[in-house]
Amino acid sequence: MIDTTIEKLTCALGKNHVLTGDVVKERYHHVWHMDQSLVAKAVLLPGSTADVAKILSICHDYHHPVVIHGGLTNLVGGTETQSQEVVISLEKMDAIEEVDAESRTITVQAGAILENVQQAAEKKGLLFPLNFGAKGSAQMGGIIATNAGGLRVLRYGMTRQLVVGLETVLADGTVISSMKKLLKDNSAYDLKQLFIGSEGTLGVITRAVLRLVEAPNTRISALVGLNNYDQVVAFLKFIDKGLAGTLSSFELMWPPTYQVLTTPPASVSPPLPYEYNYYVLLDSLGSDPKSDPVRFQGLLEEALELKIIQDAVPAESATDINRFWTIREDVAPMVAKCKHTQQFDISLPIPLIGEIVNQIVKDLFRIPEVEKVFTFGHVADGNIHFVIGKSEQSDTLINQINHTVYRPLASIGGSISAEHGIGVHKKNYLHISRTPEEIKLMETLKMTLDPRNILNPGKILDLK
What does the pLDDT look like over 269-327, one tens digit per residue?
999 999 999 999 999 999 999 999 999 999 999 999 999 999 999 999 999 999 999 99
> Are the beta carbons of 260 and 373 closer than 8 angstroms?
no
> Are the beta carbons of 139 and 90 closer than 8 angstroms?
yes
Q: What pLDDT does residue 2 have? A: 47
Domains, the chain, ordered by start? 2-92 (3.30.43.10), 96-214 (3.30.465.10), 218-329 (3.30.70.2190), 338-442 (3.30.70.2740)
- CA separation for the pair 267, 375 (Å, rounded): 19
- CA separation for the pair 337, 242 (Å, rounded): 39
Q: At 91, which amino acid appears?
A: E
Which ranges of 180-290 does DSSP label H, i.e. alpha helix? 192-195, 229-243, 255-260
Q: What is the largest CA-CA distance in the chain?
A: 74
- CA separation for the pair 38, 291 (Å, rounded): 54
- CA separation for the pair 388, 426 (Å, rounded): 16
Question: Which residues lie below 8 Å from residue 161, measured CB to CB, with a gap of 6+?
Answer: 211
Name the 3-class secondary structure at 275.
Answer: coil
> Are the beta carbons of 253 and 278 closer than 8 angstroms?
yes
Which ranges of 244-390 does DSSP label H, i.e. alpha helix? 255-260, 291-305, 318-329, 332-336, 353-365
Provide long-range contacts, Cβ within 8 A and 24+ apart, for 30-36. 30/72, 30/73, 30/74, 30/79, 30/80, 31/71, 31/72, 31/73, 31/134, 31/137, 32/335
Burial label for 130, CB within 10 Å (0-12, 13-18, 19+), is buried
| pLDDT beneath 70: ranges in the chain | 1-2, 464
Q: What pLDDT does residue 216 have? A: 96
Q: At 453, which amino acid appears?
A: N
Q: At 404, which amino acid appears?
A: T
Evaluated on CA atoms 53, 58, 59, 60, the torsion sign reads: positive
Tell me how far apart the terminal alpha carbons of the chain are, to the nearest angstrom: 21
Which ranges of 395-434 does DSSP label H, i.e. alpha helix? 395-406, 409-412, 430-433
DSSP 8-state symbol, 347 = E
Backbone angles phi, psi at 429, to 5 degrees: -115, 5
- CA separation for the pair 393, 341 (Å, rounded): 8
> Are the beta carbons of 445 and 438 closer than 8 angstroms?
no
> Are the beta carbons of 333 and 261 closer than 8 angstroms?
yes
Q: What pLDDT does residue 192 have? A: 97
> Are the beta carbons of 232 and 277 closer than 8 angstroms?
no
Q: What pLDDT does residue 133 have? A: 84
Angle at which helices 395-406 and 353-365 cross, to 10°:
150
> Which residues are registered as beta bridge partners of 280?
224, 252
What's the whole-model pTM score? 0.94
Name the 3-class secondary structure at 207.
Answer: strand
